[in-house]
Chain A
Amino acid sequence: MGCGTSVATESQAKQSEKELTYKFFYSITQRADESLKASSPALAMKAAVLIQRWYRRYMARIEIRRRYTWSIFQSIEYAGEQDQLQLSSFFTFMLDNFTHLGGASPDLISQFLDPTSDPMKEEGRAAKYEKIEVPDSYPGPRLSFPLTVAHTNALLRAFKQQQQHLHARYVLQLLHETKKFLKKLPNIIHLSTSYTKEITICGDLHGKLDDLLLIFYKNGLPSTENPYVFNGDFVDRGKSSVEILIILFAFLLLYPNDMHLNRGNHEDHIMNLRYGFTKEVMQKYRSHGREILLLLQDVFSLLPLATIIDNKVLIVHGGVSDMTDLDYLASIERHKFKSALRPPRMSIDSCQDKGRRKTKGQLPTQSSGGHRSISTRYSSNHLMKPSSGASSPSSSSSSLSSSIPESRRMSDVQEKDTSTTSNGQHPLHHRSISPAGILEVPFLDSDVTITPKVPSWEEMEWKQIVDLLWSDPKNQNGCSPNSFRGGGCYFGPDVTLTLLKKYRLKMLIRSHECKQEGYELCHDGQVITIFSASNYYEEGSNRGAYIKLGPDLVPRFFQYQVSKFTRRMTLQQRVSVAEGSALKSLREKLYAHRSELIAAFKQYDTYNTGTVSTSDWASAVESVLRLDLPEDAMPRLVRLAPNGSVEYLSCFEDLHMEQPIKEVTPSLVETLYRYRTDLEIIFNMIDKDHSGLISIEEFHQTWRLFSSHLHIHVDNAAIDDLARSIDFNKDGSIDFNEFLEAFRVVHKLDSKEKH
């Protein structure tokens, strides 16, 4: 076949492209000696098309990998967030039962869960902080009030070098001043872009100082010419939450009219217990950490709830609901709501009464909880597939009445007691207020009937705040309870439209959700999500972004990505890193549920071959973990037999525990591994002097409480054995860090996974 005719004609589409290609290049190689210079620009063009075709397909495959990696991260994240619901209700449970705790001191726990206001007056506090001594050898920044630019510069300089912490005295003083300042602010801040000022709006930072510094580098420091709004979630997850708060608060005091902070759902001490901020504070401030945390509770609760620019742009952290009432919100005493996870507590005394009234030991034997399948397969937003129960658009968003559809509760009861199930999807939904005004937690009281109550005004206030801080937008119309998060709503385009019209607003800017590009528009451009923590899940997982808004109120987006590496990584490399990390998390999750998974696999493996089909494997994993795994992930997690079936035990081979704890049953070890984060939190609460040690009795007690709350039946003797075997130096106390080390898993393929 001659080269000339077949190549020149473009209309070869009908014939097999590949056939042509082969013939084409065959003819070239046949004439390898001839110089190709003279021939065909057409030849070059053909070659170019081939390469481009191939390359575009290659990029498409990377894109697919990126998406499923993303969905793995998201579904694990949201599964984690549901865990914290359980934790929150556990704290409630502990508070309600603290009279029965025995060893653990009640005031400690109540201090953590429900701090009564310090009888010491504010001025007394200031004097107290003044007395804290700062050694001459302290090399860090020294603050004095009122703050000046020199102070903020010093802080930025010190933190950039990373090792320098601000001395506890200055932290306390800073927080004290911030609290005083915030008290004067309304719940909703009104701003204006007058005088052609552009306002910069940033989203979640989550303790990632590098991102904040990058924003300041690109966009300039806050000043009267350069106003900023930070839309919540400054803390948790990242390792520099303290530094971020210090910087933000310092600028807040320095430029009170040009620096604005909204409260996010992570500005909440219960969330902080779970997601790392509490730990960070305790680690960085051994002596004063507790005091700092208590003061922070006040500060967080005093952060404004919303900001409105030019009466046209509403900025809140999470979103809105069909019940959102801005006027009502403006009237609430926001400082009462220390945590958005629980309504304001009544006095401790009334709780004590309730504790005694409740039937002891009558924990329901079946878990009344469970969450439906998190079918996030491939979805880049975590919308749930419409399935059993509550995602009907008209379902009531007045989530406080305990009117749970009968069908859903039934399905909940049937589900096995897996790691996050015990306390129901919606502790918020299950609650009602008894005549005495005490919050009941029905699922812990088998003898309390649930009657729908008219929500009290306090609950209504609480709901307004929760909706603002926790809601997510969805694409379908309507407003439904946000079961992923366990609080707030999913709000549809109609809800947005109604709200914007009602208050004559132009758009809603919110954060709360990580987006690959750092920002995302939805609801026809009326809702913008802005997220400022780049590489949130892993190096390369996503960009961060911020918005600049001028008097025209047309948003301009600026993206960035912090990178550890000086040489720019290719997309392929970034995706590989993120993918590796996602798979690692998945493997750990599989490991944490080993016995249940093996039981599930065995059910499919009728002939005991050690293998199951790929679809059976996927179904088993989904039923135990509530995660919909993408097919492509499978070969990376398990070994496939030559006939294509899955050797199901192979997915546990990669991992092993660092230190085997002798004389303890494997299933107990597994259970402890699964709950290690929760145990750590509780341990931190009990360890008053931050020594890292608790007594065996305290450990025992912790475990007893926790396991009874989760309805896990563990032999007391087994716990005794465990405690004793952990007490490595046999002195009657357990070093909890050593304990945790024992449960650290090592990925065998760690080194091989570096792409």
Chain B
Amino acid sequence: MAEEKESAEAMISEIHKQITDAFDVFDHEFNKTVDVREVGTIIRSLSCCPSEGELHDLLAEIEEEEPTGYIRFEKFLPTMTKVLMERRYRPIPEDVLLQAFEVLDQEKKGHLEPEELTKYMSEEGEPFTQEEMEEMLSAAVDPDKNVILYKDYVGMMTVEDN
């Protein structure tokens, strides 16, 4: 029992360190606050992969009652600790990602047209901004064939990500 408790404590302290390090990256004034607009990036850097909606919910937990535009570490730490302990918002495995692309590829072509992907990403779900769309296309579109070979794309991205 004691060992279990020790390892649990060790895990928590490791998690706390990760959260603190990530938070500090954006704490420009060294006063343990970050701009609320950067919280999404911070959370995602902690191996979490929430949707925009989930992010919004999470923010509601972390923000002050009267939103100040800043997030304080005192509120950020406990919430994120819970998130990490519960392993919420885990990253998406490669095969699931591939399947998602396959769903979009309704005609089972094995690739997607840029217009198709643009339509889905910009109109469905939690739409991309134009900048996000352009950036994705710049990496995803095969320059010779002018289509998105999503199998290759997913493979390449997940390798680079690791």
Using CB atoms and an 8 Å cutoff, list the residues of chain A in contact with chain B.
Answer: 13, 16-18, 21-22, 25, 28-29, 36-37, 43-61, 63-64, 67-68, 377-381, 383, 385-386, 475-476, 567-568, 570-572, 630-631
Contact = CB atoms under 8 A, between A and B. Distances in A.
A448 to B, nearest CB: 38
Given A44-B104, A47-B100, A47-B101, A52 B135 contact: no
Interface in B84-119: 88-92, 96-97, 99-101, 103-104, 106
Given A44-B104, A572-B160, A386 B143 contact: no
B135 A571 contact: yes
B125 A570 contact: no
Most chain A CB within 10 A, of B21, B100, B126, is at B100
B40 A51 contact: no
A383 B31 CA distance: 12
A25 B93 CA distance: 12
Interface stretch (B1-9, B50-58, B64-72, B75-83): B50-58
Contact of B125 (A45, A58, A61, A567): A45
B97 A17 contact: no
Interface in B24-76: 24-26, 28-30, 40-41, 44-45, 48-54, 57
Given A49-B126, A50-B96, A379-B28, A567 B41 contact: no
B139 A572 contact: yes
B139 A49 contact: no
Contact of B28 (A46, A381, A568, A572): A381
Given A47-B99, A52-B121, A56-B52, 16 more contacts: A18-B90, A37-B106, A45-B125, A48-B126, A50-B92, A51-B97, A52-B127, A56-B40, A56-B44, A56-B132, A57-B48, A60-B44, A383-B29, A475-B29, A570-B135, A631-B21
B29 A43 contact: no
Contacts of A567: 143
A36 B106 contact: yes
A475 to B, nearest CB: 5
A570 B100 contact: no
B49 A53 contact: yes
B103 A47 contact: yes
A59 B135 contact: yes
B144 interface: no
A385 B30 contact: yes
19 contacts: A28-B99, A44-B120, A47-B104, A47-B120, A48-B104, A50-B96, A50-B97, A51-B104, A52-B127, A53-B50, A53-B92, A56-B52, A57-B49, A60-B40, A64-B45, A67-B25, A381-B28, A383-B28, A572-B160
A57 B157 CA distance: 12
Contact of B103 (A36, A60, A385, A631): A36
Nearest to A35: B106
Nearest to B38: A63
A47 B54 CA distance: 16
Nearest to A56: B44
Nearest to A51: B100
Contacts of A53: 49-52, 92, 126
Contacts, number: 133
Nearest to A36: B106
A386 B30 contact: yes
A52 B45 contact: no
B50 to A, nearest CB: 7
A67 B92 CA distance: 24
Given A49-B126, A52-B51, A381-B28, A57 B44 contact: yes
Contact of A52 (B126, B138, B143): B126
A244 B120 CA distance: 48
A63 B92 contact: no
B136 interface: yes
A378 B92 CA distance: 27
Contacts of A52: 51-52, 121, 125-128
Nearest to A10: B53
Given A383-B30, A570-B138, A54 B103 contact: no
B41 A63 contact: yes
Interface in B110-160: 120-121, 124-128, 132, 135-136, 138-139, 143, 157, 160
Contacts of B139: 570, 572
Contacts of A571: 135
B94 to A, nearest CB: 10
A13 B54 contact: yes
Contacts of B157: 58
The 10 A-B residue pairs whose C-beta atoms are closest, nearest first, are A60-B44, A48-B125, A378-B25, A49-B125, A48-B124, A47-B103, A47-B100, A570-B139, A57-B44, A50-B100
Nearest to B49: A57
A707 to B, nearest CB: 38
Nearest to A386: B30
Most chain B CB within 10 A, of A29, A48, A61, A571, is at A48
A54 B29 CA distance: 30
Contact of B99 (A29, A55, A56, A385): A29
Contacts of A377: 24-25
B28 A61 contact: no
A21 B96 CA distance: 8
Given A44-B103, A386-B30, A49 B51 contact: yes
A139 to B, nearest CB: 40
Contacts of B135: 59, 570-571
A36 B103 CA distance: 8
A44 B29 contact: no
Contact of A68 (B25, B28, B106): B25
A59 B24 contact: no
B57 A48 contact: no
B102 to A, nearest CB: 8
Contacts of B120: 44, 47-48, 51
B49 to A, nearest CB: 4
Contacts of A43: 103
Given A60-B45, A68-B25, A17 B125 contact: no
Contact of B91 (A16, A57, A68, A386): A57
A36 to B, nearest CB: 6
Contact of A64 (B25, B103, B125, B161): B25
A36 B105 CA distance: 10
Contacts of A378: 24-26
A61 B45 contact: yes
Nearest to B103: A47
Contacts of A383: 28-30
A21 to B, nearest CB: 6
Nearest to B55: A56
A2 to B, nearest CB: 17
B41 A568 contact: no
A58 B140 CA distance: 13
Contacts of B97: 50-51, 54
A49 B126 CA distance: 6
A66 to B, nearest CB: 11
Contacts of A476: 29
A562 B104 CA distance: 37
A17 B29 contact: no
Contacts of B48: 57
Contact of A54 (B28, B92, B143): B92
A379 B92 CA distance: 30
A73 to B, nearest CB: 15
Contacts of B132: 55-56, 59
Contacts of A380: 28
